[in-house]
Amino acid sequence: MKKCIYCLESKPEESFAKAEHVIPQSFGLFQDNFTLNQPHNKAVCDDCNQYFGDNLEIDLGRDTIEGISRYEYGIRKPKDFKSLGNRSRIQHKKIAEGVLKGTFYYLAYSQELNQITPKPLPQVGFQNKASSSYTYFLLDDIPDKTELENQGFDCAANVRAFGNSFEAIEQALAAKGIFPGFQEEIPLPDQKSEKMLVEFEVSVDSIILRAIAKIAFNYLAYWQGAEFVLQDVFHPIRFYIRNGERRETPFVQIRDKSILIDEPSQEFRRIIHVVTVNWAQNGLSIISQVSLLNYLSYTVQLAMNFPGQILNLRKGHLFNLGDHKIYELTAQNKM
Ligand SMILES: [Zn+2]
């Protein structure tokens, strides 16, 4: 019998058959990959492995900036992209400049370009009478006619509309008492030759943060072994990852910065994942840093006030998506 590091249930060895990857397989495969459930380190039961795949990793792959970046860097084929549309955590991608400034976009696969491109969501734009500039609203968010007029918008003429169903747009407007004249067709930028500048608004919720925390906890379990991470001091992070149990202090914090200090810049970042584990500055807590595709950095608190010393706790690895090899980080370029 072995005890699972997530659900704490004791189960026969056959229930630990699936390989549990430290870096989810959907983010690339690596030579001599770090996985749990090898004969000497049975750690995650197949039920927990299945639960994580179905509930945490699916969203980590589909609905995060890191997940979308997989298509850009060839980890995934653009044609396999499935848009979550309005349900996506990545929303309201406004073109930052040009004639379409302020419009709302979602990401979709373009067969013609064989890449993921922004496409307009159904929306309407009203012109401000004083400034001539446009403000856009998704169909569900259109204010009442009086409210729009009070804000100085022209509801009678020059209204812009985007979407596949003109009828749906007219209905949404009619519901707010607006029966406008529309502006003539605007030429859209040629997506083949022009790069569109898009702003993202991403919400990162506990499903995503738990998926990140699991990478950190798996990494610790990989190096220190299942017995070690079964200690009571790891109960809070374990139950957060497995059951979503929260506490007052967040387990995961996000930074818009690379973990590695020698990273040239956000614009020319290396296509790597990074995972580290170390003592926190107070020398008592155990923390891990995780970065997928070297984009955002997540700091995960794995244990608060760990009782005692651990030899060789400090570790860090770089998962290179270029040659699919894993490199150990040295002290100088760590953190
Ligand atoms: Zn389990």
Neighbouring residues of the ion ligand 1, judged by CB less than 5 Å:
4, 6-7, 45, 48
- Quick check: 252 and 294 in contact, CB under 8 A? no
- Specify if 23 maps to a domain: yes
Between the CA of 8 and the centroid of ligand 1 the distance, in Å, is 6
Verify that 54 and 21 share a domain, yes or no.
Answer: yes
**Based on the domain organization, do 208 and 313 belong to the same domain?**
yes
Same domain, 224 and 315: yes
- Clarify whether residues 43 and 112 are in a common domain: no
Residue 334 inside a domain? The answer is no
Which residues does 164 contact at the CB level (< 8 Å), separation at least 6? 122
C-alpha to C-alpha distance for 29 and 325, rounded to whole angstroms: 9
State how many domains the chain has. 2
Residue 310 lies in a domain: yes
Distance 110 CA to ligand 1 centre (A): 40
Write down which residue in 201, 225, 241 finishes a domain: 201
Q: Does 296 lie in the same domain as 213?
A: yes
Establish if 71 belongs to a structural domain: no
Q: Other CB atoms closer than 10 Å to residue 113's CB: what's the count?
A: 11
What count of other Cβ atoms lies within 10 Å of the Cβ of residue 118? 21
Q: Which helix (H) or strand (E) holds 290?
A: strand 286-291
Full domain range(s) for residue 193: 90-201
Contact status, residue 240 vs residue 92, Cβ threshold 8 Å? no
Domain contains 289: yes
- Tell me, yes or no, if the pTM score tops 0.85: no
Coil, helix or strand at residue 210: helix
- State pLDDT tens for residues 53-84: 999 999 999 888 899 889 888 888 888 888 77
DSSP string, 157-205: S-BEEESS-HHHHHHHHHTTT--PPBPPPPPPP-TTT-PPPB--EE---
Last residue of a domain, one of 201, 217, 238: 201
Same domain, residue pair 211 and 195: no
Quote the ligand 1 centre to 236 CA distance (angstroms).
15
**From the CA of 187, how far away is ligand 1's center (Å)?**
55
Q: Are residues 19 and 53 in the same domain?
A: yes
What is the per-residue pLDDT across 168-211, written as a single tens digit (0 to 9) for each?
999 999 999 999 887 767 666 555 555 666 677 778 889 999 99
